[in-house]
Amino acid sequence: MGLLDGKVAIVTGAGHGIGRGHALELAREGARVVVNDLGGSVTGEGKGRDADVVVGVIAGRGGQAVANYADVADFSQAEEMVQQAIDTYGQLDILVNNAGIVRDGMLWKITEDDWDAVIRVHLKGTFAPLHHAAKHWSARFKETGRKVGARVINTTSGAGLEGNIGQINYTTAKGGIASLTITASLELFRMGVTVNCLAPAGATRISATIPGAGIEAKEPDEFGEFSPMDPSLGSPVVAWLASEEAAHVTGQVIRVVGEDINLLTPWDYGPGISKPGERWDPAELTAKMNAHVFGTRHPGLRSMNKS
Q: Which of 139, 181, 125, 160 has its CA nearest to residue 13?
A: 125
CA 115 to chain CA mean position, Å: 19
- Strands 253-257 and 260-264 turn out to be antiparallel
**Candidate list 174, 207, 218, 243, residue with the active-site label:** 174
> Are 28 and 65 in contact, with CB atoms under 8 Å apart?
no
Residue 238: CB atoms within 10 A of its CB come to 31
Q: Which of 15, 12, 17, 13 has its CA nearest to residue 217?
A: 17
**Candidate list 89, 157, 185, 232, residue with the active-site label:** 157
**Candidate list 7, 69, 89, 170, residue with the active-site label:** 170
CA distance 39 to 33: 17
Indicate if 157 belongs to the active site.
yes
Residues in a beta bridge with 180: none
Indicate if 170 belongs to the active site.
yes
Residue 143: CB atoms within 10 A of its CB come to 8
Q: Please give the single-letter amino acid code of residue 108.
A: W
Active site residues: 157, 170, 174
